[in-house]
Structure 1
Amino acid sequence: MQKIEKYLKERGIKPSIYRIKIFDYLNSNHIHPTADKIYKDLLPELPTISKTTVYNTLNLFVENKIANAIVIEGNEIRYDIENYPHGHFKCLKCNKMIDFKIDYYKKDLEKLGNISIDEVMFYVKGLCENCKDK
């Protein structure tokens, strides 16, 4: 927990118990959870946590580039703290999300001209290996 506390402080975020636990959850569960999933999973351990606290903390993490908000379809927002270049595959049947490495070259993006790129998102939808064979 001290590592997480230090990490948050280095990024200008005051480390509360809720922020530490939410970061730890994201770091330990690479399942691209929704805010509701995080809330439900942390509630037994932190009975005083509120959904508002979870949403506000996730928004703070996104604003400070600690986490990424992933919107693949509709209004479902999932969260990810992986910061290496990668894409996301979402199974349309079981809703499982899988990270995969992508190789893109900055030179290719520079062909777009005189622009400023803040982020690159890559999403793929389909059926995962388990659902495809059912």
Structure 2
Amino acid sequence: MVVNNIDVYLREKGVKPSYQRKRIFEYMMNNLNHPSVNDIYEALINEIPTLSKATVYNTMNLFLEHKLIEVLPIDTNEARYDVFNPKEHGHFKCDVCGNIFDVSIKINVEDISDDLAGFKVDSEIYNFRGTCKACHESGKENQAI
């Protein structure tokens, strides 16, 4: 997703674009690293000394409410966020380095199971965990976090 003017985009989505909100959204757009509130706070605190974790948390909740971002149900320790992506995709969390990667999904839900016959599926969530390629190739997988 490409947003040319964050100010206009936020207004179109019903969000008042304060400086902090714009910078948080810009961070999300430019860093597709599925950050936590703490990651965002740490990345922006030097630039915005008045920023608090409460502000980041409240902003993320506002963005969720307006469907600008989504929470990833892959990490049980802390909420991780993704810029809303209408294209179906899943996530892979490396148990060694902790990174979360986007994964293209090529599954037809109707081919998965007859158990869903007659059901209307509104969304699909695919999460995978294990060792990423870099950690596997470096032999770090025996040092899982």
Question: Is TM (by shorter chain) over 0.5?
Answer: yes
Contact 2:91–2:126, Cα closer than 8 Å, also in 1: yes
2:103 alignment partner, one of 93, 100, 105: 100
The residue number in structure 2 matching 1:122 is 126
2:27 alignment partner, one of 17, 21, 25: 25
Secondary structure of the corresponding residue to residue 37 of structure 1: helix
1:49 alignment partner, one of 43, 48, 51: 51
Contact 2:67–2:84, Cα closer than 8 Å, also in 1: no
1:113 alignment partner, one of 86, 111, 118: 118
The residue number in structure 2 matching 1:38 is 40
Per the TM alignment, residue 82 of structure 1 is displaced from its structure 2 partner at its CA by 4.3
Percent of residue pairs bearing the same amino acid type:
41
Secondary structure of the corresponding residue to residue 95 of structure 1: coil
Per the TM alignment, residue 103 of structure 1 is displaced from its structure 2 partner at its CA by 2.2
Q: Which runs of 5+ in 2 are unaligned?
A: 140-145
Per the TM alignment, residue 115 of structure 1 is displaced from its structure 2 partner at its CA by 4.0
Secondary structure of the corresponding residue to residue 88 of structure 1: strand
Per the TM alignment, residue 123 of structure 1 is displaced from its structure 2 partner at its CA by 0.3
The residue number in structure 1 matching 2:9 is 7
The residue number in structure 2 matching 1:66 is 68
Per the TM alignment, residue 114 of structure 1 is displaced from its structure 2 partner at its CA by 4.4
Contact 2:92–2:130, Cα closer than 8 Å, also in 1: yes
Look at both structures and tell me which one has the larger radius of gyration over its CA atoms: 2
Per the TM alignment, residue 132 of structure 1 is displaced from its structure 2 partner at its CA by 1.3
Are 2:89 and 1:86 aligned? yes
Per the TM alignment, residue 74 of structure 1 is displaced from its structure 2 partner at its CA by 1.8
Secondary structure of the corresponding residue to residue 89 of structure 1: strand
Inter-CA distance 125–2: structure 2 relative to 1 (3 Å threshold): closer
Supply the distance in 2 between the matched residues of 1:5 and 1:120 (Cα, whole angstroms): 31
Q: Which runs of 5+ in 1 are unaligned?
A: none
TM-score (norm 1): 0.89
TM-score (norm 2): 0.82
Are 2:9 and 1:16 aligned? no
